[in-house]
Amino acid sequence: APNKAPNKAPARMAAESPSPVFLPRPLPTLLRLLFVLLLLVAPSIQSPPPKNMSKPTIVLVPGAWHQPAHYSALIGILESASYEVVTKRLPSVDSSTPTQQSVPNDATFIEKHLLCPLVDQGKDVLLLMHSYGGCPGADAAKGYSKKERTVAGKKGGIIGLVFMAAFLANEGDSLLSKLPNQEYDPWVVWNKETSQLNVSDPKNVFYNDVNDEVAKVAISQLKLQSEPALSSPSGPPAWPDSVYDGKRAYIQTALDNTIPFVAQDAMVTYSGVKWDVTKLNTGHSPFLSQPQAVADFVVDRLKAYDY
């Protein structure tokens, strides 16, 4: 019998189908639109930036007989907290023309050499005044508040006033007029020929609570003070102005032998305006005996008064 054709190999089963691939279903048009909108608006709903990216500058006005070197410990602490501090010796201190000095002259100096260079750059300023510095300092500050400058379309300005054991003078007042019987204290040595004032017992008057070695250095840095500056009338001060409501402060010094605490308290109490007050258990120079406490209060006021 003829050979049979070999049996054909059984047909192979159809190739196995690949594993199914599940493609994402397209988002509905409305959801896609919402997704795009979210991407667009996300940057605008992030946390808002700080109100003021740069910190205010502190302008420090020294007191009578004193100069910037006396405040170096306080300045160092404030600078370590990233605050710029600007200060200069007043013209009435160590003056070669003492008879030509006055509160208005010191005020003009503060305005021209300390305030204007800063606010003209649009900077915010906190004005810190010590002792006699409260008279020309408050005079110089008139019209330079942040609120007033903002209304005038200008940037920068004074955001707050801090008086450190300082005189609060009204228009027409002199430092001498604020003293009992309008007479200088016995520790003031008045050379009427030169119109200059010295201090007979600076350790007890200015630095009664200051370390002896620190006080010794501070005494060596004192300069003669022009008498006419202390007896001349002050101009209109800024501190009573309503633009400083909630933005004026006073550092009282309980052991003060220069401006006794009772006098400081009376000036604040009868000023007719409200103050943020702190009381330190120091003499007239807390910037030497308790510089950290002064710095802490100043920084607190800076944060509270910042715009």
Q: What is the pLDDT of residues 192-247, one digit of tens each?
A: 999 999 999 999 999 999 999 999 999 999 999 999 999 999 999 999 999 999 99
β strands within 10-87, DSSP E: 57-61, 85-87
CA gyration radius, the chain: 35
Smallest CA-to-CA distance from 208 within 165, 162, 266 is with: 165
pLDDT tens digits for range 37-93: 555 555 444 444 444 468 999 999 999 999 999 999 999 999 999 999 999 999 999
Structure tokens at 134: 């409260």
The pTM of this model reads 0.83
β strands within 55-139, DSSP E: 57-61, 85-87, 124-130
Element spanning 164, H or E = strand 157-164
According to the model, what pLDDT value does residue 30 have?
A: 59
pLDDT tens digits for range 149-200: 999 999 999 999 999 999 999 999 999 988 888 999 999 999 999 999 999 9
- Residue 107 is classified by DSSP as H
Class of domain 57-305: alpha beta
According to the model, what pLDDT value does residue 180 have?
A: 86
Domain boundaries, the chain: 57-305
Distance in angstroms (rounded) separating the CA atoms of residues 128 and 231: 22
- Asked if 56 and 124 touch (Cβ cutoff 8 Å), the reply is yes
Mean pLDDT over all residues of the chain? Answer: 90
Phi first, then psi, for residue 43 (nearest 5°) are -60, -30
Structure tokens at 190: 């008045």
DSSP per-residue letters across 113-174: IIIHHHHTTT-EEEEEEEGGGHHHHHHHTTT-BHHHHHHTT---EEEEEEEES-----TT--
* Cα 210 → chain centroid: 24
